[in-house]
Copies of this chain bind each other. A is one copy, B any other.
Amino acid sequence: MERKILLSEAEMPEFWYNIMADMPNKPLPPLHPGTKEPIGPEMLAPLFPMELIKQEVSTDKWVAIPEAVREIYKIWRPSPLYRAVGLEKLLDTPAKIYYKYEGVSPAGSHKPNTAVAQAYYNAQEGVKKITTETGAGQWGSALSFACQIFGIECEVFMVKVSYNQKPYRKILMNTYGAKVHASPTNLTEAGKQILAQDPNSPGSLGIAISEAVEVAAMNEDTKYALGSVLNHVLMHQTIIGQESIKQLEKVGDLPDIVVAPFGGGSNFAGIAFPFLRLNFDEGKKIRCIAVEPASCPKLTRGKFMYDFGDTVGMTPLLPMYTLGHNFVPSPIHAGGLRYHGAGAIISQLLKDGLIEAQSQYQNEVFEAGMKFAKAEGIIPAPEANHAIATVIQEAEKAKQEGKSKTILFNLCGHGNFDMTAYEAYLSGKLVDHEVTAAEIEASLAEIAPLQV
C-alpha cells in the first residue's frame, strides 16, 4: 500500500473556492465601531490592497489563482496526502486515517498558502512594506518568506512572551529578511498605551495586531496582512482541501469526518470548506470538526456577538463566536490557537449547524502528538496535535463500535520550532488551566455595549 498520495504540479488546483457563494446564510457585515453601520470596502483601503478587499466581499464561487502565485506554490505544493499506516496499526482501529501534510512548506506550516498570495497582490499594487503580528511565529515566518520573494519589506510585531520563548522563529524571520519587534513596543501609540498601564506586559496577539495595524494606517506605502480570520485569508487556504479531494479520488475514497485545529479559522477552512462544498453541491454528509484548546474555547463556550478583532479596538466590529477581546487565554504551547474570536464565515457556519466544534486539553493533545510521532515519524506542531487528539478518539470509537470510517485531518505543520513544548510535556510540566463559566461571562459582559 502507498503511504503518500502525490499530485503532479500540473494537477495543482487553478482556483480558490469561495464558500460565500454557497452559504445558505451569508455572514453578517462588519460594522463601524462608532456608527455601528456596515463598513464599505473603501474603509479597508488604508490597510489592504484593493484586490484583497474585493476578495473579502466577493461571492464568486471560484477565484483564479494568479500564475505567479502558483509558480511559488510549486516550491512545496501540491503537498502530500498520507495514509496514516503506522497510526492505524498503533491504534488497531478499523478506521482509515488520512492526513494532509502542510509542514513541507519552507516556513513549515500551511500559512504560506495565503502569505504568498497576499504578498503578490500587495506587490502588484506597488506596496513597499507589509506589517503584521505573530504569536508563536508560524504566520510571521510565512509572511517574511513571501515578502522576500516579491521584494517587499516585512515588519513583524511578535508577542513578547513568544519572542523570548521561541528565538529560533525570530531568527528564521530575520533570515528571510524581516524586521521583528517584541510587542508591545514603544514604536506605536497602541504599544505605548499598553506599556504605560503595564511596563512588563507579556503582550498578546490582540495587542500586536493593534500595533501592526497602526503602522500600516499611518504610512502611505505600507499595508497590513492578517494570517487568519478574514474571508480572503480563509479562501486562499482552500487549495488544501481541493488537493485532498483529488488525492482521495485517486484511491477511490471520501472522508466521513474532516478534522482540523482551530485558531482563527484558516487551518480548518483550508481543509474543510472544499468538503463542505461537496455537502452543498452533491448532498454529501461529511462531518467537519474544528478542534480548539479547552483553554480558549470560543466555539464551544463563547457567544455569537459583535466584537473587535484586536485588543485596543482599532478594527471594525466583526460578527463572531468570541470570548470577548479582553479574554487572555492561559499561555498554552499551541500559540497559534490563542485567539479570542473566530472568523465571520466560520461563526455563521457553526451557528447554522453546518460544522461542529470540540475542545481538547493540552496534556491529552500532547499525548496524542507523541503517539503520532511514534507511529508516523513526523513531529507535529502543537496546533496540529489538537486535531490528532480528536482523530484518535474517533478512531477508538470506530474500534468500539466495530465499524470502519474514513477520517481526514490537516497536519498543518511540523513541530521543529516547538520542541520546548514537547520538553515541557515530557517532564510533566504542562498545566491545564480550567476556564470558569464566570470568567467567560465577565469577559463577554465587557463587550455587551458593542452590540447593535
Question: Which A residues are within 8 Å of any B CB, using their own CB?
Answer: 2-4, 6, 8-10, 72, 74-76, 86, 104-106, 108, 145, 148-149, 167-168, 171-172, 174-177, 370, 373-374, 376-379, 416-417, 419-420, 422-423, 426
The answer for the CA separation of A168 and B172 in the assembled complex, in Å, is: 15
The answer for the CA separation of A377 and B172 in the assembled complex, in Å, is: 11
The answer for the CA separation of A171 and B417 in the assembled complex, in Å, is: 11
In the bound complex, do residue A6 and residue B3 qualify as a contact, i.e. CB atoms below 8 Å apart?
no
CB neighbours of A171 from chain B (8 A): 419-420, 422-423, 426
The answer for the CA separation of A346 and B179 in the assembled complex, in Å, is: 44
Which of B2, B378, B419, B426 contacts A106 (CB under 8 A)? B378
The answer for the CA separation of A376 and B72 in the assembled complex, in Å, is: 9
In the bound complex, do residue A3 and residue B419 qualify as a contact, i.e. CB atoms below 8 Å apart?
no
A-B contact list, 25 entries, CB within 8 Å: A2-B8, A2-B9, A2-B10, A3-B75, A4-B74, A6-B6, A6-B8, A75-B376, A76-B377, A104-B104, A106-B377, A106-B378, A106-B379, A145-B377, A167-B423, A168-B168, A168-B419, A171-B420, A171-B426, A172-B419, A175-B370, A176-B374, A177-B374, A416-B416, A416-B417
CB neighbours of A9 from chain B (8 A): 2-4
The answer for the CA separation of A367 and B249 in the assembled complex, in Å, is: 44
The answer for the CA separation of A34 and B376 in the assembled complex, in Å, is: 46
CB neighbours of A172 from chain B (8 A): 379, 416, 419, 422
Main secondary structure of the interface of A (DSSP, over half): helix
Q: How far is the CB of A141 from chain B (nearest CB, A)?
A: 10
Work out how many copies of this chain go into the complex: 2
The answer for the CA separation of A176 and B374 in the assembled complex, in Å, is: 7
In the bound complex, do residue A74 and residue B2 qualify as a contact, i.e. CB atoms below 8 Å apart?
yes
CB neighbours of A10 from chain B (8 A): 2
The answer for the CA separation of A172 and B421 in the assembled complex, in Å, is: 11
CB neighbours of A422 from chain B (8 A): 171-172, 174-175
The answer for the CA separation of A344 and B218 in the assembled complex, in Å, is: 65
The answer for the CA separation of A145 and B379 in the assembled complex, in Å, is: 10
The answer for the CA separation of A306 and B316 in the assembled complex, in Å, is: 74
Q: How far is the CB of A298 from chain B (nearest CB, A)?
A: 30
In the bound complex, do residue B377 and residue A75 qualify as a contact, i.e. CB atoms below 8 Å apart?
yes
Q: How far is the CB of A12 from chain B (nearest CB, A)?
A: 11
Scoring A75, A86, A417, A426 by chain B CB atoms within 10 A of each residue's CB, the highest score goes to A75
Which of B3, B8, B175, B417 contacts A373 (CB under 8 A)? B175
Q: Given A172-B419, A175-B419, A175-B426, is A74 in contact with B3 using a C-beta cutoff of 8 Å?
A: yes
Q: How far is the CB of A182 from chain B (nearest CB, A)?
A: 15
CB closest residue in chain B, given A376: B75
The answer for the CA separation of A368 and B76 in the assembled complex, in Å, is: 21
Q: How far is the CB of A301 from chain B (nearest CB, A)?
A: 31
CB neighbours of A423 from chain B (8 A): 167, 171, 174
CB neighbours of A149 from chain B (8 A): 86, 377
The answer for the CA separation of A86 and B171 in the assembled complex, in Å, is: 22
Q: Given A75-B3, A108-B416, A416-B168, is A175 in contact with B8 using a C-beta cutoff of 8 Å?
A: no
The answer for the CA separation of A86 and B151 in the assembled complex, in Å, is: 13
